[in-house]
A and B are shown apart, each in its own frame.
Chain A
Amino acid sequence: MGVLDLCGSRREDIDGIVGQAGPDLAYLLGLGPIWASPDPLGISGVMTAADAIAAGHCASVLVVGGCAGLSATIGSADQGLLHRAGNEFVSSVGMYTAVEFALIARRHMATYGTTSEQIARVSSTIRNNGHVNPEAVFYNRGPYTIEDVLASRMVADPFHLLDCAIPAEGACAILLTTADRAQDLRLPPVYLLGAQQDYFGAPYTHAPSWDLRSFNGGPDDCIGMVGHRAANQCFELVGLGPPDVDVLELYDPFSFEIIRQFEAFGFCKPGEGGGFVMDGNMDPSGAFPTNTDGGLLSYSHNYTGQTHQKVGRCVQQLQGICATTQIPGAEVAMASNGGAGASWCWVALLGNERP
């Protein structure tokens, strides 16, 4: 109901819902018959909703994700809270998400000389955005320096504790509608300019190797560069490039993933991501402010709902309504879900000018 109140939409206008809890929510909100899709994730959910609207199946769609009560049932601080089921080739090795992404990061460090300090620069920057955001789980817990990150205990080398997102709970809802209908709502409309998905396979079931390739990929298409094709196609579709992006809300389950995405999405060259973040590019005052709410590292990693938050924060930035770390005059925003350790990565471009 929050998003409906916020933008002044009426419940009776909703004729579509996307999300893992979509059917439950339809009932709870007293909706029906409506169009529905069980797509659990943010960018794919938005793509699904946009396609359904374009096809005429519905006109105003809620895309929702989140979780509540899960953390109490699946672990403690001593156990792998996000320990994936895995399979016969990963479970006995002792793999979980931090290790998956650590093996990707370590390969980048060995190949390009990326340092722990550069990786910690990502953590401290994002966590400081969370430090000033009253809505962040880690609000007022900083500020953090590179040294603070490096002094936190090691989880899975090269990741220290402060390089890792902490599971939390919460939810995010996005309202998608036609451009014409959006003009009548209370908040300024934000347009989905383009989105694309890159998949290499099911996550957390194979060796997370930077160089894992497929028979049909181009020279730059490997797990380590996943999202490269998606970002390129997205930029081409909308006639924009990385320099046109004003703010980024990128998948940050572990800090290194930001360095990787800057390279994969074409914001800098392969191998230059470490220096790129050290130069302040991702700072709120930099050329490409990133994860302005505190990201998954500090705002909240609420399971599938974190994928919606990336889109949601882009929308808020483009509407100019962020209470903290609002990027002045932001016109184009980029969101991502998924990363190299997961072997899939999706991107979306949003803008506040009607394309």
Chain B
Amino acid sequence: MSELLPHPEGVPLPAPTAISQPYWDGCAQGRLMYQRCTVCDRTLFDPTPICRWCGSSDTSWQVSRGLGTIYSWSVVWRPAGPEFASPYAAIIVDVDEGFQILANAVGCEPDGLFVGQRVGVEFHPIGAGFSLPYFRPIEQPERVG
């Protein structure tokens, strides 16, 4: 098997909204952005116009350190469409600042992923000025699942 790689150019491009534009601008600049509610202090992701917890629309953008833990993963052998190269891995990461993000894993073998694995973010372009966040294993604690 070979190492998981970033998607080739040609995968579906995001269509940012006024709400999500700061997030995509951050990705293009190599920064993982998330929102924090300025009223209840909860972290919010995906980008949102309103805090799901207290209902406030008073949120501020923050920059994540980009470190987290794999919460769940799936290595995909039958791709979503011909523009994707398989295998690729979809993962949900518990980011240290307290939000979850859906992304892809890179830099390890397809059979090397596990829940609880520490990962760090990196960004790779997919064309038209867009970059996606990817997560790479950064250390190997005791395997938990």
Chain A residues engaging chain B, CB cutoff 8 angstroms: 78-80, 83, 86-96, 98-99, 102-104, 106-107, 109-111, 113, 153-158, 206-212, 214-215
Question: B72-93 vs A: 1/0 string, CB under 8 Å?
Answer: 1111111111101000101010
Which residues of A have CB within 8 Å of B15?
A: 87-88
Which residues of B have CB within 8 Å of A99?
A: 74, 76, 80, 90
Q: Does B67 contact A (CB under 8 A)?
A: no
C-alpha spacing A108/B91, complex, angstroms: 14
B82 CB contact (under 8 Å) in A79, A86, A91, A92: A79
By the criterion CB–CB under 8 Å, are B102 and A90 in contact? yes
By the criterion CB–CB under 8 Å, are B77 and A156 in contact? yes
C-alpha spacing A90/B104, complex, angstroms: 10
Name 30 interchain pairs, CB-CB below 8 A, sorted by A: A78-B82, A88-B24, A91-B12, A91-B14, A92-B12, A92-B13, A93-B90, A93-B132, A94-B76, A94-B81, A94-B84, A94-B90, A102-B76, A103-B72, A106-B73, A106-B115, A107-B72, A113-B145, A154-B77, A156-B75, A157-B74, A157-B76, A157-B77, A158-B74, A207-B46, A207-B92, A207-B102, A209-B71, A210-B72, A215-B54
B14 CB contact (under 8 Å) in A92, A104, A109, A208: A92
Interface residues of B in 50-71 (CB under 8 A from A): 52-54, 71
From residue B124, how far is it (CB to closest CB) to chain A in Å?
A: 11
What total count of A-B pairs have CB within 8 Å? 122
C-alpha spacing A80/B100, complex, angstroms: 26
C-alpha spacing A156/B90, complex, angstroms: 9
Which residues of B have CB within 8 Å of A91?
A: 11-12, 14
By the criterion CB–CB under 8 Å, are B14 and A88 in contact? yes
Additional 4 contacts, C-beta under 8 A, given A92-B13, A211-B71: A83-B81, A88-B17, A103-B90, A156-B78
Interface residues of B in 1-40 (CB under 8 A from A): 7, 11-17, 20, 24
C-alpha spacing A212/B100, complex, angstroms: 9
Which residues of B have CB within 8 Å of A104?
A: 72
A215 CB contact (under 8 Å) in B53, B92, B126: B53
C-alpha spacing A89/B133, complex, angstroms: 11
Which 7 pairs across A and B sit closest by C-beta, in order of nearness? Answer: A110-B145, A88-B14, A110-B115, A102-B74, A207-B102, A91-B12, A107-B72
By the criterion CB–CB under 8 Å, are A107 and B71 in contact? yes
By the criterion CB–CB under 8 Å, are A110 and B144 in contact? yes
Which residues of A have CB within 8 Å of B130?
A: 92
C-alpha spacing A157/B92, complex, angstroms: 14
C-alpha spacing A79/B88, complex, angstroms: 15
From residue A32, how far is it (CB to closest CB) to chain B in Å?
A: 41
C-alpha spacing A163/B100, complex, angstroms: 27
C-alpha spacing A142/B132, complex, angstroms: 43
C-alpha spacing A78/B78, complex, angstroms: 8
